[in-house]
Amino acid sequence: MQFSRPYTLQELASLLNCDVVGNADHRTTGLNEIHRVKPGDLVFTDHRKYYGKALQSEAATVLINTKDVDVPKGKALLVVDEPFTAFNKLIDFFSPWEIPKEQQSKHATIGKNTLVMPGAFIGNDVVIGENCRIYPGAVIHSGTRIGNNVVIQSNAVIGSLGFYYKKRTTKFERLLSGGGVIIDDNVEIGAGCTIDRGVTDFTHIGSGTVIDNQVQIGHDTHIGERCLFASQVGIAGCVNIGNDVTFWGQVGVTSGATIGDKAVVLAQSGISKSLEGGKTYFGYPAEEARKKYREMASLRVLPDVIEQLNG
């Protein structure tokens, strides 16, 4: 998320009523999660395990719960007791959630020859290109950007809130979702799909990608061009998927994984780490399919081998 103008360290400290480490005129140009940080951004960290990652990132400013760290040159700290909650306050300030007052917002822009069917919901600041088809029951939340020739089938939800929580003593605190969704040209999204908006960045679906029914795509995930996802695929937040990737039914992907171009993942596989492109994978944890099949064949004869050894 980029600010409309740079904010000084003192201005941000005034918003949060917190202590600072650094020059009061130090500039910050946006805020992002650590997975999507860009030069000039603010990131937050609230656990000693991740202090180093945040301080050594491209971020200009770190929202943190201690002063007892070495601050790299050119960076500054905003020090608060609860960085998670303070980050939420900044999201709410710079990108407040707006509740539309009508089924199709007057502040949405819809291109030529695009058909929005009865019962579809279009939020504020939505931009939809030309020759699109939005089916009944589809929900397109505020801040979504949709290209040309896009199909969104019934009951798909575009721009739902990200699933990102911190456990408190008596409840879970949600991290607010101040980002959006970008869907490029010639994308098809099946019935009942959910695509979460970014927390501070955009969830991005590349051109020509086709998505079957009941697929879940988490916040801030970036998907390349011409990908194909079959039904019930589940993709966590901040995943990076290359071009021409295929996931067959019920594939699951862990947060932060990177999947290379032209990877194929067979049905009901679980991706627990990043995968190289140009290969076919299967199983949990997903490994090259031929290797996994050999392992399974070996397991089938293992009881006989043990019996022979014991005999």
Does residue 127 share a domain with residue 50? no
List the CATH number of the domain containing 41: 3.40.1390.10
Q: Is residue 201 part of a domain?
A: yes
Residue 299's φ and ψ, nearest 5 degrees, are -65, -35
* 219 in catalytic set: yes
CA atoms of 43 and 89, how far apart (whole Å): 13
Least confident of 14-18, 27-31, 233-237, 295-299: 295-299
Question: What interhelical angle do 9-16 and 83-94 show, nearest 10?
Answer: 110
CA atoms of 30 and 7, how far apart (whole Å): 8
Beta strands in 239-304 (DSSP E): 240-241, 246-247, 252-253, 258-259, 264-265, 270-271, 280-282, 287-288
Confidence of residue 298 (pLDDT cuts 50, 70, 90): confident
Prediction pTM value: 0.89
Does residue 122 share a domain with residue 28? no
Confidence of residue 36 (pLDDT cuts 50, 70, 90): confident
Q: Is residue 299 part of a domain?
A: no
Task: Give the residue carrying structure tokens 């007892």.
Answer: 68
Does residue 269 share a domain with residue 205? yes
Lookup: tokens for 7: 């904010």
CA atoms of 138 and 238, how far apart (whole Å): 24
Count of structural domains, the chain: 2
Does residue 64 share a domain with residue 16? yes
Residue 96 pLDDT more than 80?
Answer: yes
Residue 166's φ and ψ, nearest 5 degrees, are -120, 130
Q: Which of 26, 35, 219, 222 is catalytic?
A: 219
**pLDDT mean over 30-57:** 91
List the CATH number of the domain containing 155: 2.160.10.10
Domain end point (choices 71, 94, 117): 94
Does residue 183 share a domain with residue 141? yes
**Phi-psi group of 81: left, alpha or beta (phi > 0 → left; psi -120 to 50 → alpha; rest → beta):** alpha
Q: Is residue 295 part of a domain?
A: no
CA atoms of 67 and 81, how far apart (whole Å): 11
Give the helix ranges, DSSP H, for 64-118: 83-94
CA atoms of 85 and 228, how far apart (whole Å): 37
Does residue 145 share a domain with residue 71? no
Q: Is residue 304 part of a domain?
A: no
Residue 303 pLDDT more than 80?
Answer: no
Average pLDDT over the chain, rounded to whole? 93
**SS3 of 241, please?**
strand
Cα 163-165-167 angle, rounded to 5 deg: 150
CA distances (Å), 213 to each of 185, 195, 220, 251, 292, in order? 19, 12, 20, 13, 28
**pLDDT mean over 85-114:** 91
CA atoms of 179 and 94, how far apart (whole Å): 10
pLDDT, one tens digit per residue, over 253-279 is 999 999 999 999 999 999 999 999 999
pLDDT, one tens digit per residue, over 109-157 is 999 999 999 999 999 999 999 999 999 999 999 999 999 999 999 999 9
pLDDT, one tens digit per residue, over 150-205 is 999 999 999 999 999 999 989 999 999 999 999 999 999 999 999 999 998 999 99
Beta strands in 75-207 (DSSP E): 76-79, 109-110, 115-116, 121-122, 127-128, 133-134, 139-140, 144-146, 151-152, 157-160, 165-167, 172-174, 180-183, 188-189, 194-196, 202-205
Q: Is residue 246 part of a domain?
A: yes
**pLDDT mean over 29-35:** 91
CA atoms of 280 and 53, how far apart (whole Å): 32
Q: Is residue 308 part of a domain?
A: no
Q: How far is CA 101 from the centre of its chain?
A: 27
Give the helix ranges, DSSP H, for 46-189: 48-55, 83-94
State which residues form the domain around 83.
2-94
CA distances (Å), 128 to each of 3, 143, 148, 154, in order? 24, 11, 7, 16
Question: What is the SS3 string spanning 199-239?
Answer: CCCEEEECCCCEECCCCEECCCCEECCCCEECCCCEECCCC
- The better pLDDT of the pair 258, 34 is held by 258
Find out whether 263 and 239 touch, Cβ atoms under 8 Å: no
Does residue 210 share a domain with residue 61? no
The whole-number pLDDT of residue 97 equals 82
pLDDT over 70 percentage in the chain? 100
Q: Is residue 104 part of a domain?
A: no
